[in-house]
């Protein structure tokens, strides 16, 4: 019985595609007019070293298949982690049974057949890391040591971790589409604690890449974790004021991330977005241009096709501040009377163009204001764009960092913050789905003592 043989990366792609095809065939036999199946498999491990001793070794191995069927325009979904034929059959039957209770929804169904990816480009997403737990422990130990040894005020640690994972992603549907590919992710991270005058602060540094050769050295990551943590010691509260705010690249990613939610089909259709009807209008300052680049080799959010098999394509999302498109899958595209943009499941690598200024140049441009070190809490209202979050950071005077500040909030409205962007740094952070440099916002309310 093939179902009892454990899956592996080497042979799994064919097996997962067979399972997906079995599910689609069975759905058709049970009367489904359309069906789709997502199947996945992943394996890997992570190690954590704390205070120079191994703390954890975790092995990971996941598999699953999710089947969606349509009876006309009525939809049902079922998923299982058990890939044996009996369990798969039970899931398909369950999906069909659930669909009977769904309401007829004309927008519901597979993506249009002519939008599906015709070929699956190799985006260089799979680079297995030939490393065993013992070697990973050595790297983590070196990483943490660099953080602990960075400064005598680094007194404690949450540890350093090294993790590696590889997996398979398969999607098939009853239009005859069947695609799949392997991918990998590797990361090194370190988090330490520094103490001074009875107060403690913590911070971290990390790196993540498709290919382990693209990771910085563990020692560099550790030293940066130590530097960041020590820099936060001795923070004071700030008096309440209005000032410009500089979001360093790693935090600026999140600022652009709020755009993704606001121009997603579901939020637009439900009008639960602060950017309803913003298409073709200036949403950002004129100096802001953003591209979506789904096919960047080795990038973390690269994908040849979206969650519905629709081909992903490069496009300009924001042109000189003007919003040029939404992020749509088929369902909400139909609801809005538009076309899928290949974004079922989200955006694929947003690249924010820089304005040619380094981080230091942005500091000088700001002259006096706040550099954010960390944001906390979920104080962003997606409907109104109101933004108010807990923060810590550094106060800047005469273009230079003067002292750390803590226990403050920064508040504004995303609409105004986007229009008030004064510059985008050349210091691009590539560790996520948004590739941007630091972003300078002209004015926000900073609340403190």
The CB-of-357 to other proteins minimum distance in angstroms stands at 27
Among 2, 11, 29, 53, which residue sits at the site for other proteins (rule: CB under 8 A)? Answer: 53
Residue of 226, 232, 190 lying closest to 371 (CA atoms): 232
- Is the Cβ of residue 188 or residue 424 nearer to other proteins in the bound state? 188
The answer to whether 105 and 73 are in contact (CB under 8 A) is yes
Task: Give the CA distances from residue 392 to residues 201, 297, 301, 359, 436, in Å, rounded to whole numbers and listed in that order.
Answer: 11, 35, 29, 18, 21
119 near other proteins (CB under 8 A): no
Continuous H helices in 324-409: 330-335, 359-366
Taking CB under 8 A as the binding criterion, the range among 163-171, 350-358, 364-372, 382-390 that sits at the site for other proteins is 382-390
If DSSP codes are grouped into helix, strand and coil, which group holds residue 266? Answer: helix
Q: Please, which residue, 19 or 232, has the CB nearer to other proteins?
A: 232
Applying the rule CB under 8 A, the residues between 299 and 338 that interact with other proteins are none
- Cβ proximity to other proteins: between 120 and 134 the closer is 134
Distance CA 102, CA 93 (A): 15
**Residue 105 near other proteins by CB under 8 A:** yes
Among the listed ranges 139-147, 200-208, 289-297, 358-366, the one in contact with other proteins (CB under 8 A) is 200-208
Among residues 290, 320, 325, which one has the least CA distance to residue 434? 290
184 vs 210: CA distance, rounded Å: 5
CB 321 within 8 A of CB 278: no
| Closer CB to other proteins, 389 or 430, in the complex | 389
CB nearer to other proteins: pick between 57 and 113: 57
Residue in the structure block whose two tokens are 């398969």: 170
| Minimum CB distance to other proteins smaller for 114 or for 132 | 132
Query: What does DSSP say about strands 34-50 and 53-71: parallel, antiparallel, or unpaired?
Result: antiparallel
Does 200 engage in binding with other proteins (CB under 8 A)? Answer: yes
CB of 291 to other proteins, least distance (A): 30
Is residue 6 a contact point for other proteins (CB under 8 A)? yes
Interface residue with other proteins among 2, 8, 56, 339 (CB under 8 A) is: 56
Is 55 an interacting residue with respect to other proteins (CB under 8 A)?
yes
What CA–CA distance (Å, rounded) separates 99 from 6? 32
Residue from 33, 85, 381, 426 touching other proteins (CB under 8 A): that is 381
Regarding 77 and contact with other proteins (CB under 8 A), the answer is yes
| Binding to other proteins, residues 390-429 (CB under 8 A) | 390, 392, 406-413
Shortest Cβ 79–other proteins spacing (Å): 4
> In whole angstroms, what is the distance from residue 257 CA to residue 240 CA?
27
Q: Which ranges of 6-156 would DSSP assign to H, the alpha helix?
A: 9-29, 85-101, 133-148
């Amino acid at each position: 019985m093939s179902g009892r043989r454990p899956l592996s990366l080497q042979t799994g792609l064919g097996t997962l595609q067979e399972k997906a095809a079995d599910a689609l065939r069975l759905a058709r036999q049970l009367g489904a007019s359309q069906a789709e199946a997502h199947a996945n498999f992943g394996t890997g491990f992570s190690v954590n070293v704390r205070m120079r001793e191994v703390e954890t070794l975790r092995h990971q191995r996941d598999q699953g298949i999710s089947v969606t069927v349509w009876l006309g325009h009525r939809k049902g979904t079922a998923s299982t982690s058990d890939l044996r034929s009996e369990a798969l059959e039970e899931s398909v039957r369950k999906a069909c049974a659930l669909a009977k209770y769904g309401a007829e929804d004309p927008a519901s169904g597979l993506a249009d057949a002519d939008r599906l990816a015709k070929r699956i480009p190799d985006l260089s997403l799979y680079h297995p890391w030939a490393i065993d737990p013992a070697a990973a422990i050595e790297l983590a130990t070196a990483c943490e040591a660099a953080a602990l040894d960075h400064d005598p005020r680094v007194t404690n640690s949450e540890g350093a971790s090294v993790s590696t994972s590889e997996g398979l992603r398969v999607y098939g549907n009853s239009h005859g589409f069947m695609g799949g590919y392997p991918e990998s992710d590797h990361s090194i991270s370190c988090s330490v604690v520094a103490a001074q005058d009875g107060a403690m602060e913590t911070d971290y540094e990390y790196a993540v890449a498709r290919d382990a050769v693209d990771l910085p050295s563990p020692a560099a990551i550790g030293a940066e974790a130590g530097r960041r943590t020590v820099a936060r010691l001795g923070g004071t509260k700030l008096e309440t004021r209005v000032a410009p705010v500089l979001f360093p690249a790693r935090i600026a990613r999140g600022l652009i991330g709020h755009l993704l939610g606001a121009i997603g089909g579901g939020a637009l259709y439900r009008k639960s977005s602060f950017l309803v009807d913003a298409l073709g209008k200036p949403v950002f300052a004129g100096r802001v241009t953003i591209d979506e680049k789904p096919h960047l080799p080795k990038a973390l959010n690269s994908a040849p096709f979206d969650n519905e098999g629709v081909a992903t394509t490069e496009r300009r999302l924001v042109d000189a501040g003007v919003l040029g498109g939404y992020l749509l899958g088929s369902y909400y595209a139909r609801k809005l009377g538009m076309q899928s943009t290949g974004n079922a499941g989200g955006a694929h690598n947003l690249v924010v163009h820089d304005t040619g200024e380094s981080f230091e140049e942005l500091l000088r441009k700001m002259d006096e204001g706040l550099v954010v070190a960390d944001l906390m809490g979920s104080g962003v209202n997606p409907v109104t764009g109101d933004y108010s979050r807990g923060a810590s950071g550094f106060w800047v005077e005469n273009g230079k960092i003067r002292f750390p500040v803590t226990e403050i909030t920064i508040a504004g409205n995303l609409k105004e913050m986007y229009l008030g962007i004064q510059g985008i740094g050349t210091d691009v952070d590539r560790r996520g789905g948004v590739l941007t440099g630091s972003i300078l916002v002209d004015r926000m309310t900073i609340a403190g003592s």
